[in-house]
Chains A and B, each alone.
Chain A
Amino acid sequence: MTNTPKFKMTKPAKESVAQKLEPGNNPQVSLLKLGLILFRIGATSFGGLWAATHKLEKELVSKRGWLTVDEQKALMVAATLIPAPKFLAFGGMIGFRLRKWPGGIVALFSILAPPGLFVLAGAIVLSPENLGSAMPVLSRSVGIGVIGLLFGNALHQIRNAKVPLREWVTGIAIGASVAVFTIMGAPLIVVAISGLIIGICLIRPKQVSNQ
């Protein structure tokens, strides 16, 4: 491995080992550690990739320094391009970036193991007949919690955008448009790419203030 980093980070969230990491084959991150961290993420994140945004930022950016905030955002968007569940695609890319194919395999199995085992245990032990009328009530209350979590994470994304006021307002307009078109039934991938293209044109790096 060369000492010259392939990434030139403009603004790491904090002093980060991500600056020292190359895209793959990083001996600093063992497969065991990668597996354990992603297993923990899989076991403690609820509501899907979007709901876990803040948690992923804390674990992968702030605590581990495996990514910068910008890289995390870019990977989350890139995950929507992969024909697979977004959370899995994101986890696979984390593993691939750190340890290439072995990392990708370990990451995917690790992040999928907690929900897979939980659901399997539920399927073996419980049945709809066992829970009866409790199930709809439980699903509804959990659903309300997840919806609140999702909206909270959306607000967190907007709050953390480090751009001048004018670009910030433009960004909110773009985000709102993405939400509206998606709700209206437009394909998510088309809406996301369109939003990104418009955003790239209207929110340029030169316009971003020194942070």
Chain B
Amino acid sequence: MTGDSVGFLEIVMIITFSTLFSVGGGNGPLAIIQDRWVNSGLLEPALFSWALALGYLSPGPKAGFLSAIGYYMYGLPGAFAAMIGVILPSLVGAGAVSYWFDRLQPAIKRISLPAGFVIAGMISAAAWKLAEPMALSTIELASIIAIAVWVVWRSPEPAIIVLGAAALGLIGWIAG
């Protein structure tokens, strides 16, 4: 699975360090983990990819994939170490920004007017970046449009969409 040279503390430190590269989203942690553990042979590339896939299928923050990385590196204590590693910078950052947030209410009110449009742009870019490497077929594009319209009109639970898509994928795989 992995080398024995990685311990609890190192996992906490590497994950914390890699999390610092998450500013504004992006794949900073992936690049750091790949550089430190995959490229050095401590973590098999297949397991790294599998952890990412599991994170993609799981609910909640995608950072959940780090628990699998930690597990592959140092068993259950490693998984816990990875969670500590991602929570530490999140907690400090959230506390610091919240501290200033409360003192910047007038500015926040000004920001909130254009924020919806900026967020819409950021969401669209995230969706585009996911779609770009997939080389989508016409049917898949139509499915995406149908889902988007459904979300706007009926506000379905996201879990229904994702689990429904997974079920259709499984049916397609079994049929194919």
Q: Indicate whether A and B interact.
A: yes
Number of interface residues of A (CB under 8 A): 121
Q: Which of B61, B145, B146 contacts A48 (CB 8 A)?
A: B61
Whether the pair B118, A54 counts as a contact (CB closer than 8 A) is no
In whole angstroms, how far apart are the Cα atoms of A202 and B94 in the complex?
29
Residue in chain B with minimal CB distance to A202: B114
Q: Which of B59, B112, B143, B151 contacts A144 (CB 8 A)?
A: B143
List A contacts of B50 (CB < 8 A): 123, 127-128
Whether the pair A149, B113 counts as a contact (CB closer than 8 A) is no
Given contacts A46-B159, A117-B67, A127-B50, contact A112 B60 (CB under 8 A): yes
Contact string against B for A residues 101-135, beta-carbon threshold 8 Å, 1 for contact and 0 otherwise: 10011001101101111111011101110000111
Q: Which of A8, A92, A151, A160 contacts B93 (CB 8 A)?
A: A92
CB distance from B14 to the nearest CB of A (A): 15
List A contacts of B98 (CB < 8 A): 23, 92-93, 96-97, 104
Task: Answer yes or no: B63 CB below 8 A from chain A CBs.
Answer: yes
In whole angstroms, how far apart are the Cα atoms of A31 and B94 in the complex?
17
Chain B residues numbered 81-124 whose CB sits less than 8 Å from any CB in chain A: 83, 86-87, 89-91, 93-98, 101-102, 105, 108-124
Q: Which of B19, B72, B108, B119 contacts A85 (CB 8 A)?
A: B19
In whole angstroms, how far apart are the Cα atoms of A86 and B23 in the complex?
8
Whether the pair A147, B60 counts as a contact (CB closer than 8 A) is no
Task: Answer yes or no: A1 CB below 8 A from chain B CBs.
Answer: no
Contact string against A for B residues 63-90, beta-carbon threshold 8 Å, 1 for contact and 0 otherwise: 1111110011000100100010011011
Q: Which of B121, B132, B155, B162 contacts A145 (CB 8 A)?
A: B162
Whether the pair A157, B105 counts as a contact (CB closer than 8 A) is no
List A contacts of B155 (CB < 8 A): 54, 58, 156
In whole angstroms, how far apart are the Cα atoms of A130 and B102 in the complex?
50
Whether the pair A189, B23 counts as a contact (CB closer than 8 A) is yes
Whether the pair A112, B87 counts as a contact (CB closer than 8 A) is yes
Q: Which of A93, A115, A142 contacts B60 (CB 8 A)?
A: A115
Chain A residues numbered 56-89 whose CB sits less than 8 Å from any CB in chain B: 58, 70-71, 73-89
Given contacts A151-B144, A188-B25, contact A84 B19 (CB under 8 A): yes
Whether the pair A179, B124 counts as a contact (CB closer than 8 A) is yes
Say what secondary structure dominates the interface of chain B: helix
Whether the pair A159, B94 counts as a contact (CB closer than 8 A) is no
Whether the pair A200, B111 counts as a contact (CB closer than 8 A) is yes
Task: Answer yes or no: B157 CB below 8 A from chain A CBs.
Answer: yes
In whole angstroms, how far apart are the Cα atoms of A124 and B68 in the complex?
8
Task: Answer yes or no: B9 CB below 8 A from chain A CBs.
Answer: no
Task: Answer yes or no: B31 CB below 8 A from chain A CBs.
Answer: no
Residue in chain B with minimal CB distance to A188: B24
CB distance from B39 to the nearest CB of A (A): 19
List chain A positions with a Cβ less than 8 A from chain B. Answer: 6-8, 10, 23, 41-55, 58, 70-71, 73-89, 91-93, 95-97, 101, 104-105, 108-109, 111-112, 114-120, 122-124, 126-128, 133-135, 137-161, 163, 167, 171-172, 174-179, 182-183, 187-189, 191-192, 195-196, 198-200, 202-205, 208
Closest 4 CB pairs of A and B: A199-B114, A115-B64, A152-B151, A148-B147
Instruction: Sample 19 A-B pairs with CB under 8 A, ordered by A number.
Output: A46-B59, A51-B158, A84-B22, A109-B83, A120-B67, A123-B79, A124-B71, A146-B162, A147-B130, A149-B158, A153-B151, A154-B119, A154-B120, A158-B116, A161-B117, A174-B118, A179-B125, A195-B117, A204-B113
